[in-house]
Structure 1
Amino acid sequence: MIEFKVTGDYIPMIQLLKAVNLVQTGGEAQIVVTEGEVMYNGHIDYRKRLKVKKGDTVEFRGETIRVI
């Protein structure tokens, strides 16, 4: 499990995937989100601009990110 400490109220989903090095670029992050490869709090979510907040979990390619 990856723990990511968010500064501020939230981090956009695309930036989160880049920040934890699960994707190389923002473009790649947009593609994997729109293709339904990312789960947000247990559900597939297609929103590229989703605001991920403290307490949320994101699952992608076998990795779980817990936002703290």
Structure 2
Amino acid sequence: MLEFILEGEFIPLIQLLKASGLVETGGQAQTVVTEGLVKCNGEVDYRKRLKVRRGDVIEFNGQKITVK
């Protein structure tokens, strides 16, 4: 499980995927989100601009990111 330390109030989902190294580009991040390959707090979420906040858990490709 990865931990991501949030410095502001939130981070958009596609930026989190890039910042955590789970995808290489923003385009790739948008694709995996729109294809339903990403879960937020256990539920598939198709929103590219989802505001991820502290306490959220993002799952993609067998990896989990806990936002702190």
Q: Return the TM-score normalized by structure 1.
A: 0.99
* Structure 2: unaligned runs, 5 residues or longer: none
CA distance in structure 2 between the partners assigned to 1:44 and 1:54 by the alignment: 18
Q: CA deviation at 1:32?
A: 0.1
CA RMSD of aligned residues (A): 0.3
1:67 match: 67
Aligned to 1:16: 16
Say which SS state the counterpart of residue 14 (structure 1) adopts. helix
Structure 1: which 5+ runs fail to align? none
Q: Where do 1:48-67 residues align within 5 Å?
A: 48-67=48-67
TM-score, with structure 2 as normaliser: 0.99
Q: Match for residue 25 of structure 2?
A: 25
Q: How many equivalent pairs are there?
A: 68
